[in-house]
A = this chain, B = another copy of it.
């Protein structure tokens, strides 16, 4: 006799649930931390990636901050308006726009990032360093595998009967 469709032992579904919960719990730290600086999480993400990687095409920034392209445009617009980020056309590929920090943008992220990093270190500090290593390995494999499998299902997409 089974009690419901999700048995307590349905390991994959449990993994999905705890993954979502863990992400939610940790990302709340990020939101709290970043909100103090008067930035949105996505805005911070753009500044951070440009700070650490230097000038980058919009599309590469987009992949790293994990939002859709139209949202990236929106966030970059705001950052340009605030004078923190600069756009310039790529000389090698006329489709792409390169993004980089302005002096003001660099000043802000330099001041803000260390404190944010400290906050995030504390957020995940419930795991020992050894367990953090283990978690990184498992999550990397999980994420890469899921991304691969997701590309593979793009071909299907049959709709069910209404």
Contacts and interface: CB of A to CB of B under 8 A. Distances in A.
A13 to B, nearest CB: 6
22 contacts: A5-B114, A11-B133, A13-B120, A15-B124, A15-B136, A15-B139, A18-B136, A19-B22, A19-B139, A22-B139, A24-B66, A25-B144, A25-B147, A25-B150, A29-B150, A29-B153, A36-B157, A123-B146, A123-B149, A126-B144, A126-B148, A131-B141
Interface string A1-30: 000111000111111101111111111111
Interface residues on A, range: 35 or more
Contacts of A125: 12, 145, 149
Given A14-B136, A36-B159, A131-B141, 11 more contacts: A11-B132, A18-B136, A23-B23, A25-B146, A29-B149, A32-B153, A115-B160, A124-B145, A126-B144, A126-B149, A127-B141
Contact of A134 (B20, B134, B147, B153): B134
Interface of A: 4-6, 10-16, 18-30, 32, 36-37, 52, 66, 111-115, 117, 120-127, 129, 131-136, 138-150, 153, 157, 159-160
